[in-house]
Structure 1
Amino acid sequence: MTRATELSATTITKTRDPDRIADRARNVIVEQVGLLYSQATSGLIVTLLCSILVVAVLWDVAARELLFGWFSFIAFITLGRYLLVRKYRRATAVVEDINRWRALFVLGAAAVGVAWGLAGTVFFSEGSVFHQVFLAFLLGGIVAGAAPYLASVISAYIAFSFPTLLPFAVLLIAKGGNVYPFMGIMVLVFASAMAATGKAMHVTITRSLQLRFETLESIDQISNAKIDVERTNAELQAEIEEHKQAHIALHREKELAQVRLESIGDGVITTHLDGTVEYLNPVAEQLTGWLDADTRGQPLSNVLKLIDETTRQALPDPVRFCLNEGGSVRLPGHTLLIHRNEDRECSIEVTAGPIRDRDLQDVGTMLVLHDVTEMRGVARKMSYQASHDALTGLINRHEFELRLTEALESARNDDRQHAMCYLDLDQFKIVNDMCGHVAGDELLRQLAAQLQIGVRETDSLGRLGGDEFGVLLQGCPMDKAKAIAEGLRQIVRDFRFAWQERVFEVGVSIGLVPITSESGSLTEVLSAADSACYVAKGHGRDRIHVYQPDDTILAGRHGERQWVSRIGEALEENRFVLYQQKAMPLSDKAERRAYSEILIRMLDKNSEPISTAAFLPAAHRYNLMPTIDRWVLRAFCAFMRGVQGSSQTDIGLYAINLSGQSLSDERFLDFVVDQLRQNSIAPENICFEISETAAIANLTRAMRFISVLKDMGCLFALDDFGSGLSSFAYLKNLQVDFLKIDGSFIKDTANEPVDYAMVEIINQIGHVMNILTIAESVEQKSVLVKLKKLGVDYAQGFEITKPTPLNEYIEAVPKKRLSN
């Protein structure tokens, strides 16, 4: 057997390797199913939108019971498909169960197709040509629109399209007459055409995936083919009698290599040992802007202009790099390729490997150019989002701590000196309380931009959380650090925030900590900065305090334990007051009963109210919430006892918040029962709000707590619903009367389709379970309009009403009724 025959046999064996073919086929199936699930979310949203359109158009011509039933059916299927998609994305053993995942998706597609097929038959209106045409175009449009989405698995597309169109076509043919049968036949023709189109798309997608999986294998075969060609050329000198056969084999291998080079998805360039270009495949032509014929014999540096993405400096010659290393190499860092016209750039990964002859001598190199522009753009965006605060654009706490750690290491290892400023805004809560969180967020954005002006390019300004900022001053002695800190304080002091014809001033308390070789750990430095900031606040706010080692006791007194003692004093001196915030009824069911949430405010020594955001975190941290919850319930029951004894008998429903700590207290349930009985409180006027996270964390006790008090007549609301990962799974275990939809979904309902869909789903599920829904954090009129459209029962937030003292609200109730 000649060398050429051996080469051909080896190539055929590799191509027909049964295991490799089976693996490639399985990989194609996995990718096809992955395409289905990756595009499923948009398909689900389109399904819901189209079903809403059907209900709206057919509202006056179809039986509403049928419309509601059909819409509930398709919504139920869509929810099931959504849960399937979410389970798939979290699954870890997708490949092993790929056939099951494919079958489940096909089943879901078939179910949706059946639902649309029902719509075409059940809602067919014989008396309205418009509605008949609407159904025909809607069903045809849905089937046509689903082709790109479902064609990756043709069985899914067939399972969806045929149940959608066939019932409608059969109905038209069965109607008889001159027009309907023709229309039915046209629908069947359309269905067949779409099936053929879907099949063609499926074949295209499958072939594209097969080519992708063949790329790496092809590159390897190309390299081997090149070696074999060179070896064959050397053997030709000694095998004169086999010259003709060897020449034919060599030509065949060259043609095969050429076809593969031109068909793979990466750019390929081959060069001679001196670095001159030998060949460019079509992809390399597109990336570089050069034609293959124009590059023959040109230096590689003229054709392939590579620079570092970060430094913009030219990168070393990949040919020299490869030959010096003696094997395949990949250029380090992030590489940019400059187009020939210098009008665009693309991010690439460059792999270079030597081409060797039969004697393993280097005869050239092969460069593979993999375009990663899109992937690197996504990576940059994800990296930015992971290290920056979404609201202000500053670095976030995690990134700030990383840079602070590096500064600590340089201080210890290189004896460098740095400093850190811890900034806590003064009077920020006033803006939040008076104008709402939208105004507070805008203030933070504007102030962050101002603070950027006051730091150097080498410094790091970050948002550490809430209204707290951090500044890392690199290579900065304390005198300079004090000057920068004073500049930042003055910037905040001079800043004026305008909102709705109001102008606000804020100040800032700054804790300044030196970072030297003797500084402690990251936690110790942050704690020292926080302590120094608390000292600044304790000394009158709007000032700077430089941390000293002997500040620990003072900072501790004014920091971690400050609110503990203040809360204790307020409890002893009865300096807590009850507020209420009313929820606006939006539905007929809600109109039957007013709903108000009981809130708490702490008064300072001057009887000025303190926002809960100031002291409740400390109360949670130091396990003071059961004491506060008892005070609230005791005070409210005493107040209600006096109200129920007056002429104001119909006072509505009042919701009292309970913490997770109180739910964990075994004695708290008995305390609640005793208070209600001792004060003769009508249980039907009381609703207890329990946060979703607290209920799930104490599920068993929460279920018993709810069961006992509901038997007495009390009502329950599940607060912040949707914020947890298992909201729907636990909902059926909790016998609640109200769902308070988490404000994170409500704020952007008017602008974000995903938030709108989540609110819609939560509201529908609540109503299916006979639970009234309440939207929190309603701060815009546009959001209120959307909530009314969705059928949410109550709305609560600054757009509706601000919290007011409870006694003032009760006194105004009769007047409100008269005005109504």
Structure 2
Amino acid sequence: LLNVLRITFGDNGPALENIHSGDISRSAIEQDVVLHCRNGGTYDIHYSVTPLSTLDGHNIGFVLVIQDVTESRKMLRQLSYSASHDALTHLANRVSFENHLKRLLHTVQETHQRHALVYIDLDRFKAVNDTAGHAAGDALLRELSSLMLSMLRSTDILARLGGDEFGLLLPDCNIESARYISGRIIHAINDYRFMWEGRLHRIGASAGITLIDESNCQASEVMSQADIACYASKNNGRGVVTVYEPQQDHMHHNRSLISLEEQSRMIRDNHLLLVARGVASPRVPESCNFWLLSLRLWTSEGEAMEERAFRSGLAEPELIRALDRRVIHEFFTNSAAGVVRKGVSVALPLSSAGLASRTVITEIIEKLTQSGMPGRLLHFVIDADALMREESSIGDGLAKLRQAGCRLIISHIGRDLEIFNHLMPQMADYVLLEPELVNNVHGNLMDEMMVTIVQGHAHRLGMKSIAGPTNQPMMMDTLSGIGIDYIFGDTISQAQPLDLMLNTSYFAIN
């Protein structure tokens, strides 16, 4: 048979020598291999060999099934690439970069090697976006990515971490070599001439380096060190490379001293607005199932600041918990009665630090009891990172909220599917997809497949899926076709203050 069928393991791999794979005792044998055509073409195939036997067990032959899986394997390869690479620059993305870093850290103790981690942050990039437009900014990022790649070794890993920030892993590299490699890159970016529509734009970059060895191999520590060193470069005039030193921690702390005071004031004394966005089924968009609440705060200069941006700047656990308690206090003081009166359900944000705090959880349950609000009307949005930590205090907080009747939404579900290894059936009620995953779902087949996979995992665990913001009917139609349970965005309703929503004529059946 193999004189007729030329089958190999991979396009250029060894030929299949035994159609039975050398073991005919098994009930079925399956291989994923390549079939070569007589005209020189190839097909990815899946083949299975199943023995045929008589009623008394004597073998009388085999059934061979060959299936063309070229397109499906191509799709899987594209999906795998999309999950680990930045769509704009085609560099590794943050998830892939962090996974590479973790693998490197795990081997440090065994190999006794030294590695370097570099943070690269572009200078004056925002000016290009503001003056020439986002198309120019995107083109510049692509050009600089190619420039940096051309200056690296084949074993080095360059990633776009987000915006104009890049991460660089230099395996088996001492500090002097890392300084030389990083210096060449920074010098090249500082001298780069970017032309757009006849206008010259000059940018620059700053870099921070930290050394990874047996005594410094904690992921959170080395990433923080590289970030601190990069800030030191910016503080020293930009366009330079700085190697991390412990005394820089103090300088980094001083950088945020004023902002800490401002953050504390905004949490403690400032007006806090709860903004509501309706969540509805894409198949029945006229009927909101519940309302997602987010915060809007104001700086001392009177500038509005959205919750996500404000929370990303909070580093002190005490401030993070203080914000949770302020939100809870504001909600139960000013809005809980209106929510109960109308019978609508709302979802409040709750940080990992708040979830792990016995005081915060106790306060939530006490206020829930005192207000007479049914627990089923109160949802909490919890970051997926909290579940990755597997801390007992976080598990206790989840259990207590569930016992009180509250519903839970796990947010920031993106391309890293590792989170589903930490979710147990019925642990939460919903998963909330990252906006980045659904922004182009109606125009990108890989994104559509990724959303389909996430939705399938959620249903397998007994949870419903939420996606958004959907600002175009095509997005809503695509998500509906995939089977996403709920969406939010302008196609459902405009964001509005919670107080305004509670004072309209809308009501729910309690």
* TM-score, normalised relative to structure 1: 0.40
More helix by share: 1
For the residue of structure 1 that corresponds to 2:342, the secondary structure is: coil
Match of 1:534 among 214, 219, 231: 231
| Paired residues for 1:248-327 under 5 Å | none
Displacement of 1:673 after TM fit? 2.3
Residue deviations 1:567-610, cap 9 Å, x none? 3332233365433332233345x866542111124433322233
Partner of 2:109: none
Residue deviations 1:59-82, cap 9 Å, x none? xxxxxxxxxxxxxxxxxxxxxxxx
Distance in 1 (alpha carbons) for counterparts of 2:80 and 2:255: 34
Displacement of 1:466 after TM fit? 1.7
Partner of 1:730: 424
**AA of the residue aligned to 1:446:** A
For the residue of structure 2 that corresponds to 1:153, the secondary structure is: strand
Structure 1: state its 5+ residue gaps: 1-22, 40-147, 159-195, 206-379, 406-418, 432-438, 497-505
Distance in 2 (alpha carbons) for counterparts of 1:682 and 1:747: 35
Residue deviations 1:201-229, cap 9 Å, x none? 36x99xxxxxxxxxxxxxxxxxxxxxxxx
Partner of 1:571: 267
For the residue of structure 1 that corresponds to 2:335, the secondary structure is: helix
* 1:688–1:717 contact (8 Å) kept in structure 2: yes
Distance in 1 (alpha carbons) for counterparts of 2:181 and 2:460: 61
| Paired residues for 1:590-609 under 5 Å | 593-609=288-304
Partner of 2:142: 449
Aligned pair in 2 of structure 1 residues 810, 484: CA closer, same or farther (>3 Å)? farther
Partner of 1:704: 399
1:654 aligns with 2:358: no
Match of 1:774 among 458, 466, 478: 466
Partner of 2:49: 152
For the residue of structure 1 that corresponds to 2:295, the secondary structure is: strand
**AA of the residue aligned to 1:731:** P
Partner of 1:585: 281
Partner of 2:30: 35
1:671 aligns with 2:369: no
Residue deviations 1:191-249, cap 9 Å, x none? xxxxx9x94636x99xxxxxxxxxxxxxxxxxxxxxxxxxxxxxxxxxxxxxxxxxxxx
For the residue of structure 1 that corresponds to 2:293, the secondary structure is: strand
Match of 2:206 among 511, 524, 538: 511
**AA of the residue aligned to 1:794:** Y
* 1:454–1:487 contact (8 Å) kept in structure 2: no
**AA of the residue aligned to 1:567:** Q
Aligned pair in 2 of structure 1 residues 797, 28: CA closer, same or farther (>3 Å)? farther
* TM-score, normalised relative to structure 2: 0.59
For the residue of structure 2 that corresponds to 1:599, the secondary structure is: strand
* 1:421–1:485 contact (8 Å) kept in structure 2: no
Distance in 2 (alpha carbons) for counterparts of 1:474 and 1:453: 19
Residue deviations 1:733-761, cap 9 Å, x none? x3x55454566765565524643643664
Aligned pair in 2 of structure 1 residues 693, 395: CA closer, same or farther (>3 Å)? closer
Displacement of 1:35 after TM fit? 2.0
**AA of the residue aligned to 1:672:** I
Distance in 2 (alpha carbons) for counterparts of 1:576 and 1:563: 18
Distance in 1 (alpha carbons) for counterparts of 2:119 and 2:399: 49
Partner of 2:253: 557
Residue deviations 1:324-356, cap 9 Å, x none? xxxxxxxxxxxxxxxxxxxxxxxxxxxxxxxxx
Rg larger in structure: 1
Aligned pair in 2 of structure 1 residues 610, 708: CA closer, same or farther (>3 Å)? same
Partner of 2:324: 629
Distance in 1 (alpha carbons) for counterparts of 2:265 and 2:491: 34
* 1:534–1:558 contact (8 Å) kept in structure 2: no
Partner of 2:450: 755
* 2:27–2:50 contact (8 Å) kept in structure 1: yes
Structure 2: state its 5+ residue gaps: 1-17, 34-44, 55-59, 68-76, 106-116, 171-176
Partner of 1:423: 121
Distance in 2 (alpha carbons) for counterparts of 1:151 and 1:658: 51
For the residue of structure 1 that corresponds to 2:404, the secondary structure is: helix
Aligned pair in 2 of structure 1 residues 627, 685: CA closer, same or farther (>3 Å)? same
| Paired residues for 1:122-521 under 5 Å | 151-154=48-51, 199=62, 201=64, 391-394=88-91, 397=97, 422-424=120-122, 445-452=138-145, 457-458=150-151, 462-467=158-163, 468-469=165-166, 484=188, 486-487=190-191, 491=194, 510-512=205-207
For the residue of structure 2 that corresponds to 1:605, the secondary structure is: coil
Aligned pair in 2 of structure 1 residues 477, 782: CA closer, same or farther (>3 Å)? closer
Displacement of 1:632 after TM fit? 1.3
Identical aligned pairs, as a percentage?
A: 16
Aligned pair in 2 of structure 1 residues 30, 395: CA closer, same or farther (>3 Å)? farther
* 2:433–2:465 contact (8 Å) kept in structure 1: yes
Aligned pair in 2 of structure 1 residues 25, 482: CA closer, same or farther (>3 Å)? closer
Distance in 1 (alpha carbons) for counterparts of 2:468 and 2:366: 31
1:785 aligns with 2:481: no
**AA of the residue aligned to 1:579:** V
* 2:282–2:487 contact (8 Å) kept in structure 1: yes
Residue deviations 1:440-459, cap 9 Å, x none? 9x887533224258769546
Aligned pair in 2 of structure 1 residues 554, 805: CA closer, same or farther (>3 Å)? farther
Aligned pair in 2 of structure 1 residues 580, 427: CA closer, same or farther (>3 Å)? farther
For the residue of structure 2 that corresponds to 1:393, the secondary structure is: coil
Distance in 2 (alpha carbons) for counterparts of 1:640 and 1:778: 27
For the residue of structure 2 that corresponds to 1:652, the secondary structure is: coil
CA RMSD of aligned residues (A): 5.9
Match of 2:487 among 795, 798, 813: 795
Displacement of 1:730 after TM fit? 1.5
Partner of 2:39: none
Aligned pair in 2 of structure 1 residues 718, 381: CA closer, same or farther (>3 Å)? closer
Distance in 1 (alpha carbons) for counterparts of 2:222 and 2:482: 50
* 1:534–1:559 contact (8 Å) kept in structure 2: no
Q: With CA pairs under 8 Å and 6+ residues apart, which has the higher RCO, 1 or 2?
A: 2
* 1:578–1:601 contact (8 Å) kept in structure 2: yes
* 2:297–2:306 contact (8 Å) kept in structure 1: yes
Distance in 2 (alpha carbons) for counterparts of 1:784 and 1:387: 26
Displacement of 1:795 after TM fit? 0.6
